[in-house]
Amino acid sequence: MASENGEKVEIGLNAVPQETHKPKKDWVLLSLRMVAFFATASATLVMTFNKQTKSFVVATVGSTPITATLAAKFNQTPAFVFFVIANGNASLHNLVMIVMEVLGPRYDYKGLRLALIAILDMMTMALASAGDGAATFMSELGKNGNSHARWDKICDKFETYCNRGGAALIVSFVGFILLLIISVMSVIKLLKSNRINHASP
């Protein structure tokens, strides 16, 4: 009887399900990605819909002024088009990364998820940096002109257009700084994971 009871107790102990260890979500990184997503998405939308139309008097015939209507749009400058593409790509990247972070390691193929995320983070950050740099150069040229090349400034004529473009640049740089922090955190997370894997027997 004792042996039977012992066996029953042993079986009962073995039958207790062990708690599976689930990796905790990195809420700090997830929050940074969400803020970066809103920043880059806002910069993309503001620059995409940035347009101003004004009429200027180009000549006067007698007492009748002759006017010409000009429009300033983002797609007239290749640097601003690149800016929209770079920030749109950063927004899409962060959105996908948020989904992957929420789903967790369900789609972690042989530990490659962290390495892939770190690589994509760095590529996205580099592309966003290039887009911000190109747009900043053209914005400075539009605001101050270039007397050596005899390029006139336009911001004295299209104030609203330049103000909206400047706001898009500021928000985009906030997103870039967050992308830089996210990239560093992703690399640190990858290195920690590799150390744990090498340390475990």
The string of pLDDT tens digits covering residues 105-146 is 565 555 677 888 889 999 999 999 999 999 999 998 888 888
Q: Contact 91/37 with Cβ under 8 angstroms?
A: yes
Closest CA to 128 of 167, 163, 94: 94
What is the CB neighbour count within 10 angstroms for residue 27? 9
pLDDT at 15: 43
Domain range for 119 is 26-195
pLDDT on residue 20? 44
| pLDDT value at residue 102 | 80
Instruction: Tell me, yes or no, whether 16 lies in a domain.
Output: no
Rounded mean pLDDT of the chain?
81
Taking only the tens place, the pLDDT of each residue in 147-192 is 787 788 888 888 889 999 999 999 999 999 999 999 999 888 888 8
User: Would you say residue 51 lies in a domain?
Assistant: yes
Looking at the predicted structure, is the pLDDT value of residue 67 above 70? yes
Q: Is the pLDDT of residue 60 over 60?
A: yes
Task: State both tokens at 136.
Answer: 């900043």
Question: In total, how many domains does the chain have?
Answer: 1
* Inside any domain, residue 85: yes
Q: Is residue 32 part of a domain?
A: yes
Widest Cα–Cα separation across the chain: 122
Q: Label residue 131 exposed, middle or buried (CB < 10 Å: 0-12, 13-18, 19+).
A: buried
pLDDT at 195: 64
Q: Whole-structure pTM over 0.85, yes or no?
A: no
Query: Which residue type is seen at 159?
Result: E
